[in-house]
Structure 1
Amino acid sequence: MAFNVVDGWTVPGFTHERELGDGAAGRVVLAVDDMTSTKVAIKYLVGGLRADEAFMARFRASARTLSQLEDPNVADLYDFVEAPEGAAVVMQYVDGVGLRRVLAAQGPTGPLAALSLLGGTLLGLAAAHALEVVHGAVRPSAVLVDGDGNARLTDFATAAPGTEAQLAPAYAAPELWDGASATVATDLYAATAIFFECLTGHPPYAGRNMARLHREAPIPAEEVPGPLRELIEHGLAKDPETRPKTAADYLGALEEAAVAAYGPSWEAQGRGRLTELAAQAAMQPEPAKPKVPRTTGRNQVIATGQTAARGSSNRRIAAAIAAVVIAGAVAGGFVLVKSGKGDATPPTPSPAQSSTPQPSAPPGGVAPAPLAARITEATDQAPGARFSFHRTGCCGAPSIAQGTFGLVKGTEPSYSMTLSGSAKTRKRAQAVIVGDRVFLRAGKKWRPSPVGGRGYPGLAEQVRRGSSVSAVTTLLNAASTLSESGGVYRGEAPVAKLAQAPGSGALYAEMARATGVEQISFALKLDGSSRPVKLWLRAGPAKGRNQIITTSYSAWGRKAIKAPR
């Protein structure tokens, strides 16, 4: 299907299927990668934004930072493509229901679902704030709920400075109305306003003079259940200095209040309720989108308008790592599209100028052994990195982890990470691996366990096997085909050879047994010093019975990981 989306230009290499939304920044469409058949969402920026050089420079810089933001409660950003004819953001497409739609169709969510929603929002904000990224305009249309009841944030840094209050007036902190810049405190205020709306069915303030109401009106805490009033009063404090200092601090207060009021199973119950509400909302007609006035130049506001309709025959699903329509690019890095059930493949390269070199598979061979040796030598000089690990697909529990690892010659790498899986490992846990011991955080203490086995110790070892430098070199040394284009290496390796490698070989063999394949496909992006930036691998076809692991690497340097006491 042909689309004249904005000024007749479309991103090459994709077939457009239907429109997902229309906002002040431009239209968002559902598209399919012509080479991999992967679904993506593409936002085409309107001409007014493209003509604003200052805005575009800020947006490019934001995209580079956001590409490093990988968190289960934050939507991934993959590629920002620019050409003389237009500009577009290629985004991950994952089925989810917008919170705005849930509230419009179902009304108040109840306290448990509201707490779960706020918890997920705060987790996403905490991850972004750790990279010094402020959202700027948190609002229900920027939150999606996936098929597992996870809250996912999108639209980070898409409000032009000075327009945040006008973009989301019901959720804008008092200082935004006075011309102040968006901050951590304004994000927490907006998250609390959404929490209030989930509890009551309406935002805390409504009227003609929103600025005065936010500045002067009493905080309507009496409208929410008693055990939750202190959270509302704290988060909606007029003075930003008296709000929670960080999203993590606020999350701690939320957990204490939730456990005290509703017991230790509040999170599971709340997530279950959110799942029900999202499924019910998806069966209802999508509410009319609020009209956002279009402006030009520097006053242009990016509003995604990307709540996607979902019919009963197209149930919205989500992977453990994703739950929203969003996408983007690792600027200058390796682009991977990840979708709800592990349908993850590198997108087709675009002939347009892209901030991210994308994988391709031209004919021609690369010698694997010298490349593996180069990587080993480079990482010996910078023995450690930050990492983010995602495993999705069939026939095995999904897993997510992020943290740092340190390399020591002659021993297994040491890791400090936050990780989660499914079932009994669904809740996030802190873990440290040193040698053959895993240390799990239990309150203020650390509990040691042998590496491997069931539960978190086994999950932690799975992450180590799949994300270590030896996992990269094992794939290369076993490769039967290997090609390179634009600094991206793509190849295949036979499972029979992979399984013989110590450490990571066992993981590859496990993936192959589960999916019934004899070859594992992979793609690798290196930085200018031959250190890994992104590793993607898949056991199985692009669609159907497969397993996919994606690992990102950044901040290479010496990392000292010690066993906790």
Structure 2
Amino acid sequence: MAFTVVDGWTVPGFTHERELGDGAAGRVVLAVDDMTSTKVAIKYLAGALRADEAFMARFRASARTLSQLEDPNVADLYDFVEAPEGAAVVMQYVDGVALRRVLAAQGPTGPLAALSMLGGTLLGLAAAHALDVVHGAVRPSAVLVDGEGNARLTDFATAAPGTEAQLAPAYAAPELWDGAPATVATDLYAATAIFFECLTGHPPYAGRNMARLHREAPVPAEEVPGPLRELIGQGLAKDPETRPKSAADYLGALEEAAVSAYGPSWEAQGRGRLTELAAQAALQPEPPKPKPSRSSGRNQVIATGQAPARGSGNRRITAAIAAVVAAGAVVGGVVFVKSGDGDATPPTPSPAQSSTPQPSVPPGGVAPAELSARIVQAADQAPGARFSYRRTGCCGAPSAAQGTFGLVKGAEPAYSMTLSGSGKTRKRAPAVVIGDRVYLRAGKKWRPSPAGARGYPALAEQVRRGSSVSAVTTLLNAATALTESGGVYRGEAPVAALARTPGSGTLYAEMARATGVQQISFALKLDGSSRPVKLWLRAGPAKGRNQIITTSYSAWGRKAIKTPR
């Protein structure tokens, strides 16, 4: 199939398959990484955006942060690539359906599915807010529902400052209409407005003067089921100071309300219902593109400013691509795609163009022992970091965590994290790991367990083994080959050698047993001080029975992890 990209330029190293959508911000295509066969979505920025130097400067900085944001409820931004001929964002391709399409095809979702959607959205926002990233324009096209009913957030930084209300007027907090910047509070307001729409089939306010309605109209809480009215009242409060202080706080209120009204199994039931609705919506025709707003000033017609994906009607094509109303707005949409494809090897960047680190296979030999010693020395000078961890693949592997760790002389590193796995550990839980104890929070109390005990303690220990500095040096010290280019190192290490190393070696041995391989492939990106930025490793082939661990590191420095009380 032939199609045209912006100015005829394409990101090197990818084969384009088909167009997924376009809008004022640019055109999105489905592409395949020529080296890894990984499917990705590439958004080519429109010329008007590339010509806006202020916008480009802001987005370069945003892309660096967003590339470090790895969370089960956030779709990944892999890379931001620039060249004299154009600029593009390489994004995760996630199989599923945008919430906008679900609502257009199915109408109200019911309270359990709505609660599940809001819970996933808040988890994604909490992960972003922890890195000081504000979404700015949360709306139904930015919430994706995958085949397991998970709500995943995308389209971060799609609105230039001052344009947020125009981009998503039905979900814009009152202060945005007054020119205030987007904040945590405006994100929570928008998430609540979407929650209201899931419950009722329409946003909380509709009319020709959206600014006045958001500022002055009473919160229509009486339209939703009684047990959920307090959540609506909190999230849609006119004064941002009276909204929940954080996404985590709001999530706690949601869980209390849901359990009280619908019982402890509300989450599983809601996720199941959301999965059914998404599957049914995927079989329906794509909803028509909303008409853009033609009004200005304080009289705003409802206009989402979102362009649905176009194409063959295949159920994997979604309306996740956002069109930007104002010329200063930025990229954004991550297209909803098959998680197995998205979890494969990250896309390889063009060496002179990429602004974010990704594994590559460059020529050139490196001495593993020397590199390992440099990393240890650098970590000793900055003994701790923020981290984001994800394990995907077969054999019960899926797990994710994020938080901070601190290195302890002569002992295992200490961790403070939020983590989740599969089965009985699917729900996200806060944990602190110090020495041989794992502390899990139950309500307002912390309960200690032996590290490695079944359930969350075992999951926490797995995260520590897979993300610590010793995990990096273990791979290097056992490597039989190592190459480097542009600060990215890639190599292989035999499982037999890895398994002899205490701690992290056990994890590699487990991965090898599950996948039946004898070698672990890995790639490592370091910063200018020889501290890890990103670690990627795989047991098994690129396609088929494999397990993959990806860990990102940032904010290196001394981290104090204290025993909870």
So what's the TM-score if we normalise by structure 2?
Answer: 0.91
Helix, strand or coil: the match of 1:340?
Answer: helix
Q: How does 1:513-552 map to 2 (within 5 A)?
A: 513-552=513-552
- CA deviation profile, 1:378-427 (whole Å, cap 9, x unmatched): 11222221111100001123111111112223222221211110111111
CA shift in 2, pair 1:148/1:327, >3 Å: farther
Shift of 1:313: 12
C-alpha distance in 2 between matches for 1:342 and 1:265: 30
C-alpha distance in 2 between matches for 1:320 and 1:419: 27
Return 472-481 or 181-190, whichever deviates more: 181-190
- CA deviation profile, 1:454-492 (whole Å, cap 9, x unmatched): 211111111111111111111111111100000000001
CA shift in 2, pair 1:246/1:321, >3 Å: farther
Shift of 1:16: 0.8
Shift of 1:34: 0.8
Return 298-307 or 47-56, whichever deviates more: 298-307
C-alpha distance in 1 between matches for 2:438 and 2:50: 50
* Contact 2:493/2:519, CA 8 A, preserved across alignment: yes
Shift of 1:357: 4.6
Return 490-499 or 124-133, whichever deviates more: 124-133
* Contact 1:482/1:492, CA 8 A, preserved across alignment: yes
Structure 2 counterpart of 1:383: 383
* Contact 1:512/1:518, CA 8 A, preserved across alignment: yes
CA shift in 2, pair 1:284/1:337, >3 Å: closer
CA shift in 2, pair 1:183/1:6, >3 Å: same
CA shift in 2, pair 1:284/1:324, >3 Å: farther
* Contact 2:479/2:493, CA 8 A, preserved across alignment: yes
Helix, strand or coil: the match of 1:297?
Answer: coil
Q: What stretches of structure 2 of length at least 5 have no aligned partner?
A: none
Helix, strand or coil: the match of 1:287?
Answer: coil
* Contact 2:415/2:433, CA 8 A, preserved across alignment: yes
Q: What stretches of structure 1 of length at least 5 have no aligned partner?
A: none
* Contact 1:348/1:358, CA 8 A, preserved across alignment: yes
Shift of 1:537: 0.2
CA shift in 2, pair 1:385/1:303, >3 Å: farther
C-alpha distance in 2 between matches for 1:379 and 1:323: 43
- CA deviation profile, 1:15-63 (whole Å, cap 9, x unmatched): 1111112122011111001111100100111111111111111111221
CA shift in 2, pair 1:144/1:333, >3 Å: closer
Shift of 1:105: 0.9
Shift of 1:216: 2.4
Pairing 1:500–2:493 present: no
Size of the aligned set, in residue pairs, is: 565
CA shift in 2, pair 1:449/1:315, >3 Å: farther
Shift of 1:514: 0.9
- CA deviation profile, 1:190-236 (whole Å, cap 9, x unmatched): 11111110001111111222222222222221111111112212222
Return 524-533 or 233-242, whichever deviates more: 233-242
C-alpha distance in 1 between matches for 2:324 and 2:508: 29
Shift of 1:335: 18
C-alpha distance in 2 between matches for 1:391 and 1:326: 38
Shift of 1:170: 1.1
Return 173-182 or 286-295, whichever deviates more: 286-295
C-alpha distance in 2 between matches for 1:272 and 1:451: 32
Helix, strand or coil: the match of 1:349?
Answer: coil
Pairing 1:5–2:5 present: yes
Structure 1 counterpart of 2:111: 111
Helix, strand or coil: the match of 2:8?
Answer: coil
Shift of 1:98: 0.0
C-alpha distance in 1 between matches for 2:188 and 2:126: 10
Helix, strand or coil: the match of 1:299?
Answer: coil
Q: How does 1:398-409 map to 2 (within 5 A)?
A: 398-409=398-409
C-alpha distance in 2 between matches for 1:301 and 1:89: 31
CA shift in 2, pair 1:160/1:136, >3 Å: same
C-alpha distance in 1 between matches for 2:319 and 2:370: 36
Return 466-475 or 555-564, whichever deviates more: 555-564
Q: Percent identity?
A: 90
CA shift in 2, pair 1:538/1:314, >3 Å: farther
Shift of 1:329: 19
So what's the TM-score if we normalise by structure 1?
Answer: 0.91
CA shift in 2, pair 1:303/1:377, >3 Å: farther
Shift of 1:493: 0.8
CA shift in 2, pair 1:330/1:368, >3 Å: farther
Return 108-117 or 311-320, whichever deviates more: 311-320
- CA deviation profile, 1:430-450 (whole Å, cap 9, x unmatched): 222222222221222222222
* Contact 1:365/1:482, CA 8 A, preserved across alignment: yes
Shift of 1:333: 21
Shift of 1:90: 0.7
Shift of 1:332: 19
C-alpha distance in 2 between matches for 1:10 and 1:506: 43
Shift of 1:330: 17
Shift of 1:554: 1.3
Shift of 1:560: 2.6
C-alpha distance in 1 between matches for 2:167 and 2:115: 25
* Contact 1:93/1:325, CA 8 A, preserved across alignment: no
